[in-house]
């Protein structure tokens, strides 16, 4: 009996030693040896997808046991269907932050706070705006994948030909330049447009134009379109320019303008003299139309104190619920958002703004004079971003529909404030319906 107990004890100790050792050292051994493949869905396509893949190669070099399989052309709809259907990828990146509110509040994207704490990641490595748009009501569900800043592109040759010096800095100047730079055909239709004041075209949208007058979307959890006079100022300025060109003429010109993402882009093919666009356009111009002589600057603003700021946003990355490899996905996210070599490489390849403050000051990125402008816009403290709401971008859609009526002349000038108040009412009702508590 005693011999049996002794034998069992020895056996037990042996087992403990073997498995116990494996449990600890084995984990490192497993982590170092057992290869893992994780799926990473990204919204990029074509050339940009290639850039992402090179960054992923760098990640694989740093963590050789993790292979990342990337899939391009994803969007929030596909991701939601995948999460619900149980086919969610291990990590995902999206171009817009519109769905962050819905994903974060429902747990579709995991809360990253525990990982941030255990890895001791200091969030102040990112600018304040990034911290704002990667969290929903203080729950951080996303990390930034580079960022975007919006500024002003202008065709230097056209400006010089018209005898205009430098980019316009105020809205009044912008209007004047736009009128001077417009060239008409013999039949009165527009051949070259100075500036397109119509919204809901290319990058012209209320969310991008808001910072021009310093307008804000929300106040105390309620929609602030009527309450903030800057919106009305923006819309009135825009409408006066639309009326000068003639709404129908602009629509006809738009119909002839090429597709935004191809080489027939209106600005790149010389049909448009000045345009609001993001910093990525510098890469497109270099690829599609390297001979065009253009300059970049902060967008003209309504008040001189605002000059130098603009709209900023970024792509975000998260770990969907149902991810099989949460730890490896976290390593990927951390790498792509904070590793300076990766971020610099991505920034150079995609011509996006880097996400971390140290990389923002990297002289390598600041070499390109046209690109440097956007880095400064991004760092400008007055630059702003869109609020993260559970209804996503529905507030922008509702506002855009109103603006499309306004710019077509179907809303009388005196009814502007009432119209904006009505849009506020719709937005607040939608927020209430979604269950988000202000």
**Binding region for other proteins (CB under 8 A) out of 164-172, 200-208, 310-318, 323-331:** 200-208
By the rule CB under 8 A, 254 interacts with other proteins? yes
Q: Rule CB under 8 A: which of 6-45 touch other proteins? A: 45
Shortest gap between Cβ of 287 and other proteins (angstroms)? 12
Shortest gap between Cβ of 344 and other proteins (angstroms)? 27
By the rule CB under 8 A, 86 interacts with other proteins? yes
The residue from 111, 260, 327, 376 that contacts other proteins (CB under 8 A) is 260
Q: For other proteins, which is the closer residue by CB, 67 or 426? A: 426
By the rule CB under 8 A, 184 interacts with other proteins? no
Do 191 and 184 touch, CB atoms closer than 8 A? yes
By the rule CB under 8 A, 287 interacts with other proteins? no
The span from the CA of 136 to the CA of 408, in Å, is: 36
Long-range contacts of the stretch 335-343 (C-beta < 8 A, 24+): 335/59, 335/62, 335/63, 336/55, 336/59, 336/143, 336/145, 337/126, 337/143, 337/144, 337/145, 338/121, 338/125, 339/58, 339/62, 341/58, 342/55, 342/58, 342/59, 343/146
Angle at 189 between CA 288 and CA 156, to 5 degrees: 40
304 is written with which tokens? 């001189």
Count of C-beta atoms within a 10 Å radius of residue 302: 18
Residue entry with tokens 């056996």? 11
> Which is it for strands 190-195 and 272-278: parallel, antiparallel or unpaired?
parallel
User: What are the residues facing 219 on neighbouring strands?
Assistant: 222
Q: For other proteins, which is the closer residue by CB, 131 or 434? A: 434
Build a one-symbol-per-residue string for 410-429: x at contacts with other proteins by CB under 8 A, - elsewhere: x-----------x---x--x
Reduced to 3 states (helix: H, G, I; strand: E, B; else coil), residue 152 is strand
By the rule CB under 8 A, 137 interacts with other proteins? no
Residue entry with tokens 């929300």? 218
Q: What is the 8-class DSSP label of residue 146? A: E
By the rule CB under 8 A, 200 interacts with other proteins? yes
Do 267 and 260 touch, CB atoms closer than 8 A? no
Count of C-beta atoms within a 10 Å radius of residue 39: 18
Shortest gap between Cβ of 100 and other proteins (angstroms)? 13
Shortest gap between Cβ of 94 and other proteins (angstroms)? 12
By the rule CB under 8 A, 248 interacts with other proteins? yes
Q: For other proteins, which is the closer residue by CB, 167 or 197? A: 197
Shortest gap between Cβ of 332 and other proteins (angstroms)? 21
Phi-psi region of 60 (alpha: psi -120 to 50; beta: other; left: phi over 0): alpha
Shortest gap between Cβ of 270 and other proteins (angstroms)? 12
| Count of positions on this chain that bind other proteins (CB under 8 A) | 59
133 is written with which tokens? 């748009």
The residue from 56, 79, 149, 420 that contacts other proteins (CB under 8 A) is 79
Q: For other proteins, which is the closer residue by CB, 12 or 432? A: 432
Q: Choose among 123, 124, 130, 128: nearest CA to 146.
A: 130
Q: Rule CB under 8 A: which of 326-385 touch other proteins? A: none
**Binding region for other proteins (CB under 8 A) out of 259-267, 323-331, 341-349, 354-362:** 259-267
User: Under the rule (CB under 8 A), what is the footprint of other proteins?
Assistant: 45-46, 73-75, 77-87, 102-103, 106-108, 187, 189, 200-202, 248, 251-256, 258-262, 264, 321, 391-394, 396-397, 400-401, 404-405, 408, 410, 422, 426, 429-430, 433-435
């Amino acid at each position: 009996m005693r011999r049996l107990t002794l034998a069992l004890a020895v056996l037990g100790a042996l087992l403990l030693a073997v498995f116990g050792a494996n449990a600890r050292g084995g984990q490192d051994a497993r982590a170092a040896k057992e290869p893992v493949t994780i799926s990473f869905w990204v919204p990029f396509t074509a050339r940009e997808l290639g850039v992402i893949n090179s960054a992923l190669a760098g990640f694989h070099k740093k963590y050789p046991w993790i292979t990342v399989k990337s899939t391009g052309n994803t969007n929030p709809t596909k991701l939601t269907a995948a999460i619900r259907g149980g086919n969610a990828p291990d990590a995902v990146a999206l171009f817009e932050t519109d769905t962050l509110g819905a994903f974060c509040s429902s747990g579709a994207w995991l809360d990253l706070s525990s990982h941030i704490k255990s890895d001791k990641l200091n969030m102040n490595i990112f600018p304040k705006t990034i911290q704002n748009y990667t969290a929903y009501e203080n729950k951080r569900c996303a990390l930034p994948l580079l960022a975007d800043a919006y500024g002003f592109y202008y065709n230097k040759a056209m400006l010089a030909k018209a005898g205009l010096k430098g980019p316009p800095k105020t809205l009044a100047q912008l209007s004047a330049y736009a009128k001077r730079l417009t060239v008409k055909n013999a039949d009165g239709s527009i051949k070259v447009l100075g500036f397109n004041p119509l919204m809901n075209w290319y990058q012209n949208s209320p969310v991008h134009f808001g910072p021009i007058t310093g307008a804000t979307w929300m106040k105390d959890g309620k929609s602030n379109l009527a309450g903030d006079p800057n919106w009305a100022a923006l819309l009135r300025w825009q409408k006066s320019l639309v009326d000068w060109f003639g709404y129908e003429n602009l629509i006809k010109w738009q119909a002839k303008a090429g597709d935004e993402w191809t080489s027939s882009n209106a600005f790149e093919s010389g049909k448009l003299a000045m345009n609001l666009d993001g910093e990525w356009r510098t890469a497109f111009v270099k690829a599609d139309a390297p001979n065009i002589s253009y300059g970049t600057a902060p967008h003209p603003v309504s008040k001189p104190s605002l000059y130098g700021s603009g709209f900023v946003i970024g792509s975000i990355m998260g770990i969907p619920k149902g991810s099989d490899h949460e730890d490896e996905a976290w390593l990927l996210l951390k790498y792509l958002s904070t590793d300076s070599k990766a971020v610099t490489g991505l920034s150079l390849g995609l011509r996006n703004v880097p996400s971390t403050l140290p990389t923002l000051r990297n002289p390598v990125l600041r070499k390109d004079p046209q690109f440097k402008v956007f880095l400064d816009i991004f760092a400008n403290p007055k630059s702003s971003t869109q609020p993260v709401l559970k209804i996503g971008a529905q507030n922008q859609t509702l506002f855009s529909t109103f603006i499309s009526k306004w710019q077509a002349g179907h809303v009388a000038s005196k009814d502007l404030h009432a119209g904006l108040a009505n849009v506020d009412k719709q937005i607040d009702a939608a927020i209430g319906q979604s269950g988000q508590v202000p």
